[in-house]
Amino acid sequence: MSALDLTARDLASAVRRGEVTPAAVAADTLARAAERNPAINAICHMNPEFEAEAERVTQRLAAGEDPPLAGVPVLIKDNIWVKGLRVSQGSRLFADHIAPEDADSVRRLRNAGAMILGIATCSEFACKGATNSPHHGITRNPVDLTLGPGGSSGGSVAAVAAGIVPLALGTDAGGSSRRPPAHTGLCGMKPTYDLIPYGPSFPEPVWGISVICPIARDMGDIALAMEVMAGVRAETPAMLHIAASPDFGTGQVVEPDVAQNFATVIAAFAKAGITVRPAEIDWGGIMGHDILPLQFAGLAQAYGDVWRDTPEIFDPMIAKQIETGLSLSGVDVARAHQTSYKMRMVLRAALDRYGIIATPTTPCPAWPADLSAPETIAGKPAGPRDHAAFTPQVNHAGVPALSLPCGTDRNGLPLGLQLIAPAGEDGALIGAALALEPLLKDIA
């Protein structure tokens, strides 16, 4: 078995014990990337200093250091700065952009001994729920190459799911590091807003919602990454209480297999002695996509002038968002801000009542890679953001959430369970997920 098949924490332990060298891990990683990446298009730029990073880890170990991620190869999403590397936000507009410095999250990973393999593909400006763009092309799902991994952190999850790296960073402004893990059988965590410093990085279309997220094969590696990047430690729960909602109170239809899987998961929790009760959430008629005018206006403010001159350089779907943003009135944007505030208040109040809330991560499994969204959900025509019905509310509330793999649909496609906790309760959320994870292993 390759060291790359180990968890990040076991790989780091093997490196620290001298059972495998950082140079050997680097060589194995480069070989795997060369073999597996062409089929999935998860990596858009390799780090030419990757082997030099392995040598620096070797020198640190020889000097007596004991870094927790020693020799662990990591990929970084294409909107997070890595000093000296080409980071483009998936956009031809930034095709030649070289990051001038590391984002704080990257610096913390490096300080912990991680080695940066390169940059993972994402959709343009990380503003689409699929990972395909004119700049990077189509990223494919290792579970089924005809399907996509979702987005916008599709490259990060595809690389982890393909076994190229055990750990990757994504970002999440509306579910981008929860839904893609759900579509690929992985774990992804969205921390409390600003728990991990977001920059230095590019300007955001919507400030105050996007966060840096670890993506891994299991919760133990998520816990280690959160300890390294945020100083958060898992809190072992004395007793677990879960409030469950199969549609997050939105009325969104879900695929029958998703509904059945969620019911099976909740029944397994109850059978294991976990207190489970229904979560009743009244959104007052607002839906997750009702805040999209903020994104459209933000993109128009940032890139509207370029779009007017050279609309052809943009992803057509992003160009449409910019065009829509330019047509919005101040009243339209103010209304979306009010909706964002209402989302925050409703969800925070529900979390105050219930503690941890469980929902499906998505109402559907992965869809064809060349589509930006599924055409139907549960046999009904789907809107462009219906697949994201249960995730953006979390961002606008600023609270932590994560996705755990919880079985598959009848076609063997992965499904995810979303757990949401009150703001600042990241350690408790990780502890709950670690306790629940074993109960999900045998769910089909």
d(CA 173, CA 391): 9
Please answer whether residues 411 and 396 qualify as being in contact, where contact means their C-beta atoms are separated by less than 8 angstroms: no
d(CA 193, CA 97): 27
DSSP letter, residue 248: T
d(CA 149, CA 42): 10
Which residue's structure tokens are 């880890």?
57
- For 345, residues 6+ apart whose C-beta sits below 8 A from its C-beta are none
Strand partners, 144: 141
d(CA 213, CA 235): 19
Helices (H) and strands (E) in the chain, counts: 13, 15
Q: How far is CA 44 from the centre of its chain?
A: 17
If you write DSSP's letter for every residue of 264-275 in order, what string do you get? HHHHHHHHTT-E
d(CA 344, CA 355): 15
SS3 (DSSP) at 111: helix
Nearest to 244 by CA among 353, 360, 365, 343: 360
Radius of gyration for the alpha carbons in the chain, expressed in angstroms and rounded:
20
Residue 28 has which token pair? 């194995």
Strand partners, 214: 169
**Number of other residues whose CB lies within 10 A of the CB of residue 264:** 15
Residue 129 has which token pair? 């729920």
Packing angle, helices 22-40 and 8-16, rounded to 10: 150
Nearest to 213 by CA among 179, 189, 187, 183: 189
Beta strand 275-278 with 241-244 is parallel
SS3 (DSSP) at 192: coil
Instruction: Give the active site residues.
Output: 77, 152, 176
Which residue's structure tokens are 């870094």?
67
